[in-house]
Amino acid sequence: MAAAFIDARPAVAQRPTSATVPTAGGDVTVLADRLEEVGPDNLLVAIGNVEISRGSQRLTADRVEINRLTGDTVAEGRAIFYDGDDQLMGDRIEYNFKTGTGVVYHGAARTAPYYQVGGERMERLGEGRYRIRRGVFTTCEDDPPTWSFRFGSADADLEEQVYGTNASFWVKRVPLIPFFPFFAAALRRERQTGFLFPRFGSSTRKGNFVELPFFWAISDSQDAAITLDLYEARGPGATLEYRYILSEVHRGDVSGFYLKETERRQVAGQGHDDNRGWWHAKDDWNLGHGRSFRADVNGVTDDLVFREYAVRLQERSAQRVDSNVFLTWGRPTFNVVGSLSWYQDLTQRRPVELQRLPDIRLESVRQPLPGLPSVLGEVESSATHFVRDIGAEGNRVDLHPRLTRPTPVAGVFTVSPFAGGRLTAYDRTVTGTRLTGDGGLTVQETNDEPRLRQILELGGDLETRAARIYDLGDLAGVSAILHTIEPRVNYTWLDGSGLQRFMRSGALRASRIPQFNSIDAIPEESRFTYSVTNRLRARTVAPEGTEPTRWELVRFVLGHSYELLNPVRPLGNVTGDLILNPNRVFSFRGDTSYSVYAGEGFQTGNMDVSVDVAPVKASVGTRFNKPDRVNFLQGNLSADVTRWATGRLTTNWDLRTNTFVENAIALELKWQCWSFTVEFIRRHQNEDELRFALNLLGVGTPLATRFGGLGGTTGSAGPGGSLK
């Protein structure tokens, strides 16, 4: 602001109320009710509604003294300094316009969008940078603030962060947490290194517990969250979450949980020792030129660790833990994929897992063949090494080529006859089956005799399409609807050696090839499959110069099949698939299958419905599978009861056993600078949990507590310090 360069003459009869002087740093403007110059002291005194500005910097006060030689400025009386987009207020502001440094006494700074930093003394070190003594940080507008962090000393960069030591957390005038070593908060950023607030809880099985999280912003492309977990009735543990972005095409994350159960008596035969935990590693790397590397590796120490320590129902009910590593080379006409795939079965203590180490696949897309007009060819092939401790293992090579010739007929329908073959080679032959000694599992026994399966495949597809457009003008924002009807008939005939054959009872006779997956369980076939698809596609009204929105409004598919070779059950299940998506308020998707044989009825059924009518959001999903004895319902309901309160309800209901596996009800109360959430979770077998979460605006979720009751087991930490 270079006010020291203003050439004001000694006061005489008339004094100017404004002055504008060009300087090397830009024009300086001084406005005041009265300007006085004290000649011997080189002071310019501005009195009454003073405003001094240069560029984006501005100083206002009731009275300002400026030393035109040194650049020192003292502002008093409603002093406010506008430092770019930031605003500082204080009883007294000392500022040097030459050096850009100064001190604000009993000051407070406001920075967008809602941060406030104040202190007994705020020393300006540079643009937006301050050293603060006996300071306070908050995002609340009230006085005293609903919550605040206080610290003995701190460094603040109003574009980056505030970092203080000798800190405490206050609610109004009460020191809720009297002391913690240091405090850090990101300003206008989401990530900042520092301790997050500890989380507390209680469980009747784990006892009282505390979790101490620390967030480390390693760099702009890496961060980590490390949490110390202490369980009174179990022992000490730790949780790690690490994320990285090495380049635009390479990113990943690593996480894990470990607990040493020093306080829990170990029981023989429980399937684990006192070292418990799980781990996860994921890497996604695009190598260029169609090549990519993908890895998703997971593991657990034992079958029960998820059930006892995981929080989400999806994890606690997991039946297996999968790991996959892929190396892919994709070209316009083919793909080569090499993979390592293994898993841990959480339902069996016996090592029955079937691993693919490795699995190499070559697949070509359907494409024209040279020298054969209108003929399309495609190939599926794989080479796999199967490994497991109990049951059949070995090597398999599979080759499946197919030729197709689509032929339009009179522009009405298309016939696509196809012919193909399948050769599958094994280095093992099945000699029989046996029961394992303790698990009662049926496994195959094999010898080293190689075996070749040969399959001939013939068939064809017949399909057509009828369409009509309905012009709606502007009905509820929709200008037109396209209705299509798409019938399709397929016939497939399979025969050869090594196929499973139908017996008079309608059951399939097992072959002598090892059964690893569905490729090995192909039966003989002479099957008609037929379906009809109805679609309604909508198009919105579009103003001139804009593109309309198009979407699938309705899809309804009805299908059936008939197997000529099955002497007992030639009729397959009737299948249906329905999608309704009329608007952003309501959506529906369901599929089902129905057996036409007496007394069997519906075999499977899945349904998902969602409704979003402000202020209420609701969704219901059902899963029904009669052969697998699954009948499950999941529901979610969220409602903004008032502007300041939101209620949530979720349920997971096993309809087959009439068991509520997990129900949860939550209420979130929101104020200007903070929110409070209370959630009660009721789990099967009297496992209850009560959670409290405090969310401070601009800080994340620094405080969360949980209490388990009625003999239940709580999981690991719930809502907690969010990664910044």
Chain CA centroid to CA 101, Å:
45
Question: How many CA within 13 A on the CB side of residue 120?
Answer: 6
189 is written with which tokens? 């950023």
252: three-class secondary structure by DSSP:
strand
Structure confidence by residue, pLDDT tens digits, 289-328: 999 999 999 999 999 999 888 888 888 889 999 999 999 9
CATH superfamily of 3-171: Lipopolysaccharide (LPS) transport protein A like domain (2.60.450.10)
451 is written with which tokens? 């075996």
Mean pLDDT of 663-681: 90
Q: What's the chain's average pLDDT? A: 87
pLDDT higher than 70, residue 714: no
Task: Give the separation between CA 307 and CA 300, rounded to whole angstroms.
Answer: 11
Structure confidence by residue, pLDDT tens digits, 16-54: 477 654 444 556 677 889 888 776 667 778 899 999 887
String of DSSP letters for 615-629: TEEEEEEEEEETTTT
Mean pLDDT of 564-573: 95
Side chain identity at 81, as an amino acid letter? Answer: F
Residue 698: φ, ψ to 5°: 85, -5
pLDDT at residue 23 in the model = 47
pLDDT at residue 68 in the model = 73
% of residues, the chain, pLDDT over 90: 58
Task: Give the separation between CA 587 and CA 582, rounded to whole angstroms.
Answer: 7
Q: Assess contact for 286 and 292: CB atoms under 8 A.
A: yes
Q: Assess contact for 258 and 277: CB atoms under 8 A.
A: yes
Mean pLDDT of 262-275: 79
Structure confidence by residue, pLDDT tens digits, 355-404: 999 999 999 999 999 888 889 999 999 999 999 988 889 999 999 999 99
pLDDT at residue 294 in the model = 97
Q: Assess contact for 486 and 471: CB atoms under 8 A.
A: no
| 82-91, 363-372, 423-432, 629-638: least confident range | 82-91
402 is written with which tokens? 């197919």
Q: What is the pTM of this model?
A: 0.77
Looking up tokens 């059902």, which residue turns up? Answer: 622
pLDDT at residue 568 in the model = 94
C-alpha dihedral, 525 to 527 to 532 to 537, nearest 10°: 20
Mean pLDDT of 675-692: 80
pLDDT level of residue 67 (50, 70, 90 thresholds): confident
| 122-131, 384-393, 422-431, 614-623: least confident range | 122-131
- 129 class by beta-carbon count within 10 Å (0-12 exposed, 13-18 middle, 19+ buried): middle
pLDDT higher than 80, residue 506: yes
Mean pLDDT of 247-259: 95
pLDDT at residue 41 in the model = 66
| Gap between the terminal Cα atoms of the chain | 36
Task: Give the separation between CA 182 and CA 161, rounded to whole angstroms.
Answer: 13
Question: 540-562 burial, b if ≥16 CB within 10 A, otherwise e?
Answer: bbeeeeeeeeeeebbbebebbbe
pLDDT higher than 80, residue 205: no
Mean pLDDT of 635-655: 95
pLDDT at residue 676 in the model = 86
pLDDT higher than 60, residue 704: no
pLDDT level of residue 437 (50, 70, 90 thresholds): low
β-strand 478-497 against 466-475: which pairing, if any? antiparallel
